Structure 1
């Protein structure tokens, strides 16, 4: 029999201890993240220190008293699951002014009334004349659907919005956004830990688009979409249905599964657009490529040319007093040469 080193029996015997340690460490890491985003100092620090200490104690026990480690681990996981399930979304918090109201709507035949449409006049990112208005539209006058993408850092990640245009020149933009509390900043990681609710905002283009192009200096693109009239009306209605649903049954924003792009795709599918699932739904900066592959962009030009012509931030920044903002951002050649929708 070879001398030195573990016997053939001892290595498999260590596997349960390794497994217990891994579960304790992974569960502890998740719990630390959850505690970080669910509590404020000083309680946050105390709870995180306690969770880390318990996780390390379970790891130590896993190598000496395996059954005790298993029992403590199961008890901790059960307690964490009960606590996590008790965290429920709400529509009643001290919200940041720009997400203070989610849109709701009523439909009577083809007549639609939207309540709490945002119409802010922005001076800086944090200073604006606050105005929430009621708007009435006739779905028989719906003429266009345009996709907006807004990139602020990584070009693979973009915020996506849909703008609906009517025969009288008016446009209304729908945007699924995180609902921040007053003085709270967005965190993509926090979106995994029930930090933010989801809100559906309806806004005037001179508010929500200008905020991104001119005030925040983001790289915004506008793509005309090829959507049949019946599908466009169904898509508009699906936004209203979703907004009314969130008003009565709030949901958490989730960075991967319930974000601005997944909401758009889900609503398009409900409207009968038949958009298949694709990895570019998650990497939303590539959404125009995805839509182009499926013939949804109203242009027959090469995609590179479409994307170059779709950039509207330089146009928006030329705005002067009295300009029609919606017409200004559509003054590029992409909209002049767009094919029939």
Structure 2
């Protein structure tokens, strides 16, 4: 009797597995085909080769899928598809980021820094003058900052694709009125455009730019027409200093060794979260870290924004575009865009 029960259980399990495999294997095959197709599309610059391999890869996958559905020489076709997928995977893992390419002007250099006690010498601080996105003066500078004079941290959010997606920039202010902004960005090649989907497929290297606010903020408000907001962030003096040094360390790391940008795991917001969480500790994870347009809500819940002001009012006062357009390239740009913005003293 026990043997019959076991036998029946095995047969039932086999039937269940058969049903699952009939549905599951085609889905897995379609996912593998989609991943391989996108990998080939974003990595191969030679168009004839790209489309030839895409045709071959898709043909192998679709033929295997058809064989699986009609139950025709399934093992043979799945083996062929498996070998093709293995070859594609071996090619994929060998793709390495590079420091040397024909970079776009605004990311031609990666900022770096030398720490000398309380002083930090930042090399290759970008200070372009932007008239339009394609019309600008190229200026890279070396600047020295006294960490004892570090007095504030502000977060800029630049919205370029709806309310959920924003580029995150962190600005450090000093008691003498100077500002420097750190921005984690893709390192574009000349004539290359950002693609969120391509960012999943090793399409872009990562860079860290230190820049003057009249450069990196004004290019977004005045040249690109993106909506930009500024929020004063509550951090202790020691945390501000540690975060500044963490940016310098990250810049030096990218200056020495190239790394890929990743739309989900290594972007302008997740890198900042990683650095801050090491300093502050206990920061919760949230979908708002991925949908960076909602970072104000995240910080508001943590009481990291100016207290006593409702979030809706903070957002209203944080919008700087009109002030940035009026300030243009005025030397007091940083001061003028902060008029009326609540901040910590």
TM-score bucket of the superposed structures, by smaller chain: over 0.9
Residue number in structure 2 paired with 1:51: 57
Residue 17 of structure 1: how far off its partner (Å): 4.9
Matches of 1:240 and 1:137 in 2, distance apart? 12
Q: Which residue of 2 aligns with 1:163?
A: 171
- Answer yes or no: is the 8 Å Cα contact 1:238–1:270 preserved in 2: no
Q: 1:3 is matched with which residue?
A: none
Question: For this pair of structures, how many residues does the alignment match?
Answer: 330
Aligned counterpart in structure 2 of residue 244 of structure 1, from 244, 252, 269? 252
Post-superposition CA distance 1:186-215 (Å, at most 9, x none):
111100111001111110000000101111
Structure 1 position 66, deviation (Å): 2.1
Pairing of 1:6-85 with structure 2 (within 5 A): 13=18, 15-40=20-45, 41-62=47-68, 63-85=71-93
Tell me, yes or no, if the aligned pair for 1:268 and 1:274 is still in contact at 8 Å. Answer: no
The separation in 2 between residues aligned to 1:238 and 1:267, in whole angstroms, is: 6
1-side partners of 2:330 and 2:300: how far apart?
35
CA distance in 1, matches of 2:19, 2:295: 48
SS of residue matched to 2:194: coil
Q: Is the 8 A contact 1:299 1:339 kept in 2?
A: no
Deviations 1:107-157 (A, max 9, x none): 011110111110000111012100111010010010110000011231111
Q: 2:286 aligns with which of 264, 275, 278?
A: 278
Report how far residue 331 of structure 1 moved: 1.3
Q: In the alignment, which of 290, 293, 310 is matched to residue 298 of structure 2? A: 290
- Unmatched tracts of structure 1, length 5 or more: 1-7
Post-superposition offset of 1:293? 0.8
Deviation at 1:10, TM superposition (A): 8.4
Alignment-derived partner of residue 5 in structure 1: none
- State the partner residue of 2:133: 125
1:13 CA drift (Å): 4.6
Q: Are residues 76 and 317 of structure 1, via their aligned partners in 2, closer, same or farther at CA, if it must alter by over 3 Å?
A: same
Q: Give the RMSD, CA atoms, in angstroms.
A: 1.8
Q: How high is the TM-score relative to the length of structure 2?
A: 0.91
**Counterpart in the other structure of 1:4:** none
Correspondence list, 1:177-256, <5 A = 177-256=185-264
- TM-score of the two chains, using structure 1 as the length reference: 0.92
Measure the CA separation in 2 of the matches of 1:37 and 1:297: 40
Runs of 5+ unmatched residues, structure 2? 1-11
Report the structure, 1 or 2, having the larger helix content.
2
Q: Is the 8 A contact 2:213 2:334 kept in 1?
A: yes
Q: How far apart, in 2, do the equivalents of 1:212 and 1:81 lie? A: 38
Q: Give the C-alpha shift of residue 219 in structure 1.
A: 0.8
- Give the direction of change, closer, same or farther, for the CA distance of 1:226–1:273 in structure 2 (3 Å limit): farther
